[in-house]
Chain A
């Protein structure tokens, strides 16, 4: 198996590079698109809104609801085939099509992660922002989303790990990611078991490294902010000391 790996090393390296590219870039764009979808999905009609605003908000919310339902309700392998072979195969390279698919697919899942983060955040944050005169959009961008993103970091990084594995289905549209590489190695070397074993081991190593990395990042960032900072002499401490 080692010999096979060495023989086909450039192929596997290419596969790893493409897989990591798809997972990282896809999750990155997924977070951007997902945040927009979550914002659309959480539009609520207020009594202070005019009729036109009410209609716009309702339409925007339904667009997001339908999009999220369709994407989460169909397999990515079907979405990829439909999009690539049905629409763009003539002019879009497979790698770009794959990136589009994985970004828009993961965005639907990330939208739900962010939405539940928005719902879980203390409503007082929004009320305080409004009471100062911020519009809902300003409050979302400057107060709500920064906190939601931080709270959702573990789930978002988990989505990155999921994408390392799920990008394998993009082999169906000829994206030269890791699974595609191992398929090529299998068919040209006739060492089918070994080729797929190599793929499995590489996927496992990648996801193990990433999940350990995620734990490390999460542990660092979920500590109470600023705890290590030396405080100015606090009143409560002073009083307690008396």
Chain B
């Protein structure tokens, strides 16, 4: 059970976003992807569940090749949960219905089973009391925790997080990161694009640094944060962790 990416490239028209990405993620691994804006982190993540079309190369989810023409994307996607920067909760539904729609439609779960499971997951993210609320009534941090619960209702083998805390107020970022840390400790396979360096340092099994559409450097959090080898990695880490008046 693994995600394997081989020589993946992605271009938007003339603009090349990903170049020759090779990557293997084992079941149970927590991988954080860091790097500057425009380095291709989100595009790489979005290729993994086919929200973006790879231009060339192969992506294997377990043993299925996503670039195979016969692949049905919805069959693949239900195995990869995704959490978005802007939550993307369904605005026409309340919290509970957000979490039960997909299991009811796709796994043909009956209402009671789907709701019991959704309530369990909402409890896990600390929002059981909000199950009947309309999503418009929630704060950003609450919305993101609902979005995580919603993705988990499909029992995904892998979870993809696309900058899950970038749109949040600073004081609620911790609530979301705590939920993610708990999931990591339970052994869920997670690929996380993030700017939260402290989180990556403490929760990731492996950290990838992306620059200019390539994975420039990867290793354990200690290797990347304490002993970066590449000049670009050092520069990036200095810029995100320190601020001086001189700049």
List the interface of chain A (C-beta within 8 A of B): 46-48, 50, 122, 124-125, 127-135, 138, 142-143, 146-147, 150, 224-227, 229, 231-232, 234-236, 239
Contacts and interface: CB of A to CB of B under 8 A. Distances in A.
A150 B136 CA distance: 15
B106 A134 contact: yes
A127 B45 CA distance: 13
Nearest to A150: B92
A234 B77 contact: no
Contacts of A125: 88, 90-91
Interface in B142-175: 142, 147, 150-151, 154, 171-172, 175
Given A50-B69, A132-B106, A226-B136, A147 B84 contact: no
Given A229-B137, A235-B139, A130 B74 contact: yes
Nearest to B54: A47
Contacts of B74: 130, 133-135
Interface string B128-141: 01100110110101
Contact of B51 (A130, A224, A227): A130
B87 to A, nearest CB: 8
Nearest to A51: B69
A123 B106 CA distance: 21
By Cβ-Cβ distance, the 8 closest A-B pairs, closest first, are A133-B78, A128-B88, A226-B134, A124-B88, A132-B102, A131-B82, A47-B53, A146-B92
Contact of A130 (B53, B73, B147): B73
A45 to B, nearest CB: 11
Contacts of A122: 86, 88
A142 B84 contact: no
B50 A132 contact: no
B90 A128 contact: yes
Interface in B69-86: 69-75, 77-82, 84, 86
Contacts of A224: 136
A124 B151 CA distance: 14
A221 to B, nearest CB: 12
Contact of A131 (B49, B129, B130): B49
B101 interface: yes
Nearest to A225: B134
A229 B105 contact: no
Nearest to A233: B129
Contacts of A130: 51, 73-74, 77
Given A48-B71, A134-B106, 7 more contacts: A50-B69, A124-B88, A128-B88, A134-B74, A143-B90, A231-B133, A234-B139
B89 interface: yes
A127 B105 contact: no
Contact of A48 (B73, B84, B130, B147): B73
11 contacts: A46-B73, A122-B88, A125-B91, A130-B77, A131-B51, A132-B78, A132-B102, A132-B154, A225-B134, A225-B136, A232-B130
A128 B147 CA distance: 9
A239 B171 contact: yes
A133 B84 contact: no
Nearest to A130: B77
Contacts of B49: 131
B51 A127 contact: yes
Interface in B35-78: 49-51, 53, 69-75, 77-78
Given A135-B74, A235-B172, A236-B172, A143 B86 contact: no
Contacts of A48: 50, 53, 71-73
A135 B50 CA distance: 13
A46 B69 CA distance: 11
B134 A235 contact: no
B27 to A, nearest CB: 20
Best-buried of B71, B82, B102 by chain A (most CB within 10 Å): B102
A122 B91 CA distance: 10
Nearest to A135: B74
Contacts of B171: 239
A142 B105 contact: yes
Contacts of A133: 74-75, 77-79, 102, 106, 154
B81 to A, nearest CB: 7
B84 A128 contact: yes
A224 B74 CA distance: 32
A236 B141 CA distance: 9
Contact of A142 (B75, B82, B101): B101
A125 B84 CA distance: 11
